[in-house]
Amino acid sequence: MDAAAVKTTLTGLKADQFRHPLDLQATSALRQIPGLDLLIRAAVGLIAEQVFYLDNISSSVLVGPQQLPEIYQLLLDACQILDLEVPQLYVRQHPVPNAYTFAMRGRQPFIVMHTSLLDLLTPPEIQAVIGHELGHLKCDHSVYLTLANLIAIAAGQLPFGEVIVQNLQTQIMEWVRCAEFTCDRAALLAVQDARVVASLLMKLSGGSPTLASQLNLDAFLAQARSYDEATASQLGDMIRQLRTQALTHPLPVLRAREIDRWATTPEYQRLLHPKNSVRQYNGEATFKGEWRNW
């Protein structure tokens, strides 16, 4: 399936319908910290929002109907599928493949994609990245993502910062990794092809513009299964936990495995093919009616 193929438009989609169970658990734990959301929004929201906005309009290219229109169309289509208002999308010159999202205080959110990431990917894979970033917006991840960045700064800059924030840092980084699993699901819902999402993750692991055409997705998925086997023992699991506890993202092979599994579940199939009435328009499937929490 390519980016232009017929897909199900998920009118009325709610975040908890695709949120990963680990994300639910980690988010619940963070919400137990009194006043955390309000503190972040009040203390840094407006300042950070203005800094990022000025930085983007001065150093990046704003995508739109007259600027990189093919990428803009991928954004529009993904927003329609995920039932989201269209955020701003910027393209930035940068040698490190990456994309990120920012949204605070109810203002218009934005997504930034690096040129080196775009150089790696096909249009469907670019749409998967956009879908992943839209997942952060759909699930209102922005507050805790801001906190994660603040903690990283505090640990390195404040006296005894590492000691002060260590416990909170462990908790927030666990949440960040869990949230990424949720956003990979949003990527899958946007492109509706698990192999596209897995291919994106493979390229993030070991891709380059010159190597991309030689990569083998089936071999990468087999590699993910081998990782499962290698960490099945008590020692292997301990090494896995030590390896991942400081990371901001789960390991790419684990993300590929998770999305490959979720694509075969009844939960995913019900989202794409609900029991609600289905009608066609403009070559796309959509539906009306009440959603159920699966």
Per-residue model confidence as pLDDT tens digits over 212-258: 889 999 999 888 888 777 666 666 566 656 565 555 566 788 899 89
CA atoms within 13 A on the CB side of 135: 28
Query: 10 Å Cβ neighbour count for 74?
Result: 25
Q: How far apart are CA 99 and CA 271, in angstroms?
A: 26
Query: What CA–CA distances, in Å, run from 104 to 46, 89, 93, 170, 171?
Result: 7, 16, 24, 23, 21
- Reported pTM: 0.80
Per-residue model confidence as pLDDT tens digits over 151-173: 555 554 544 445 445 555 666 66
Query: 10 Å Cβ neighbour count for 4?
Result: 13
Helix (H) or strand (E) holding 88: strand 88-92
Q: How far apart are CA 241 and CA 231, in angstroms?
A: 10
Q: Which of 21-25, 99-103, 133-137 has maximum average pLDDT?
A: 133-137
Catalytic residue among 49, 85, 125, 133: 133
Give the domain ranges of the chain: 18-287
Tell me the percentage of the chain whose pLDDT exceeds 70: 65
Quick one: which of 262, 118, 137 has its CA closest to 200?
A: 118
Q: Which of 15-24, 129-138, 202-211, 220-229 has the lowest mean pLDDT?
A: 220-229
Could you give phi then psi for residue 161, rounded to 5 degrees? Answer: -60, -40
Tell me the percentage of the chain whose pLDDT exceeds 90: 42
- pLDDT value of position 43: 55
- pLDDT value of position 131: 98
Per-residue model confidence as pLDDT tens digits over 66-124: 999 999 999 999 999 999 999 999 999 999 999 988 876 556 789 999 999 999 999 99
Q: Is 133 a catalytic residue?
A: yes
Query: What CA–CA distances, in Å, run from 245 to 24, 76, 155, 169, 196?
Result: 18, 35, 16, 10, 27
pLDDT tier at 293, thresholds 50, 70, 90: very low
- pLDDT value of position 246: 57
